[in-house]
Amino acid sequence: MTEWTILGAGALGCVIAGQLHQTGERVGFMLSERHRGHFHPNLDLITLSGRHQLIQSQPRFPEHARKVECLLVFTKAYHVLEALQELQHLPKSTPVILFNNGMGLSEQVKALLPDNPLLVGVCSHGAMKEQDWLVRHTGKGDTWLGPLNEAGKAWQHLIKPLAKALNHCEWSDDIALHQRRKLAVNAVINPLTAQYNISNGQLAEPRFKEAVEQLSDEVYQVISNLDASSAESREDFRRRLAQVIELTAANHSSMQQDVTHGRKSEIDYITGYILQHAEGIPVPVNQQLYDEIKNREMHKTKLAAQN
């Protein structure tokens, strides 16, 4: 393979692109129509050490899809299907790796791309977009790769270059387990930080103790009920949640950023997923946060339409 193609030039997509480039891999960005005709600058990556590195990447557009060798999808969850539908000439042999937040898209992507090798990537690297084409790598993390369909199982060899670039990448035949564990953490951190307009680290303050405990208990019960055989203990989940809050203390969650800037959030694929799979488990805090954030989104949309 001579080039990785990144679909979704957000914070994490840009950081992964930068990490791949630093290990000698070629990277291209699949861009939307709004970028056509505009100057495509080099990506400015601020590394963990604080150094600026200019990353050269090739701009790609949907008509170039037939040349894509491996597609890494980092778009917002609600844009994934629309973005993939635009790539009408994507070869059926091209592996597609979904790195989007939340859960609930798997069956729809399988139906859309029934012949492509489909995989899921779960990545906990910290990333923050400071402005267009300027991103900061804010923390190391683990990366897991696993198959979404039978054809995806033949692409386990992709973990080698990804591990070289990201310091860690392992294969998991049960990638849904890692998706659920990441979702559980996001379902606590994202809606609370969005609702209260705070950084991740502020959730460790005493004033949020009760909210964090109530929400984490609800989320834990729902996630554990999905697959009791592989569920972690409540104590292990709380420790993992506290560790993520500590390690990403200075970060602002993607949902907090979206709500603050009046953009649509991924609440439907995070908290919405918890609500859809509660199956009789009481989740009043999840429901309240979902309703409040959806109401704020609707209010922003109405204001934008009036202007």
- Domain containing 38: what range? 4-173
- 294 given a catalytic annotation: no
Provide the whole-model pTM.
0.94
- Which residue among 76, 153, 160, 182 is the active-site one? 182
| Residues 128 and 162 both lie in one domain | yes
pLDDT at 300 over 80: no
Helices within the chain (DSSP H only): 11-22, 80-85, 106-112, 159-166, 175-196, 209-226, 234-247, 254-260, 271-276, 284-306
Are residues 19 and 167 in contact, defined by beta-carbon separation less than 8 angstroms? no
Give, in order, the Cα–Cα distances in Å from 164 to each of 122, 158, 170: 16, 10, 11
What percent of the chain shows pLDDT beyond 70? Answer: 97
| Residues 127 and 188 both lie in one domain | no
| Residues 200 and 215 both lie in one domain | yes
Residue 110 three-state SS? helix
Bridge partners (DSSP) of residue 144 are 122, 170
The region of weakest confidence among 29-43, 158-172, 277-291 is 29-43
* Domain final residue, candidates 123, 152, 173: 173
Are residues 34 and 151 in contact, defined by beta-carbon separation less than 8 angstroms? no
Q: Of 195, 198, 206, which Cα lies nearest the Cα of 285?
A: 195
Helices within 72-158 (DSSP H only): 80-85, 106-112
Distance CA 183, CA 8 (A): 20
Q: What is the pLDDT of residue 241?
A: 97
The phi-psi region of residue 46 (left if phi > 0; otherwise alpha if psi is between -120 and 50; otherwise beta) is beta
Range of 34-48, 210-224, 251-265 with top mean pLDDT: 210-224
* Average pLDDT for the chain: 94
Distance CA 129, CA 50 (A): 14
| Residues 33 and 52 both lie in one domain | yes
- CATH number for the domain including 96? 3.40.50.720
- Residue 32: pLDDT band with limits 50, 70, 90: confident
The model's pLDDT over 139-196, given as tens digits with 9 standing for 90+, comes to 899 999 999 999 999 999 999 999 999 999 999 999 999 999 999 999 999 999 999 9
> What residue has token string 């949309």?
301
* Number of folded domains that form the chain: 2
| Residues 201 and 218 both lie in one domain | yes
- CATH number for the domain including 208? 1.10.1040.10
| Residues 167 and 205 both lie in one domain | no
pLDDT at 234 over 70: yes
| Residues 34 and 77 both lie in one domain | yes
* Domain final residue, candidates 136, 151, 173: 173
pLDDT at 305 over 70: no
**Token pair in block for residue 185:** 């953490």
Distance CA 83, CA 190 (A): 24
The model's pLDDT over 189-229, given as tens digits with 9 standing for 90+, comes to 999 999 999 999 999 999 999 999 999 999 999 999 999 88
* Domain final residue, candidates 173, 196, 211: 173
Q: What is the pLDDT of residue 307?
A: 66
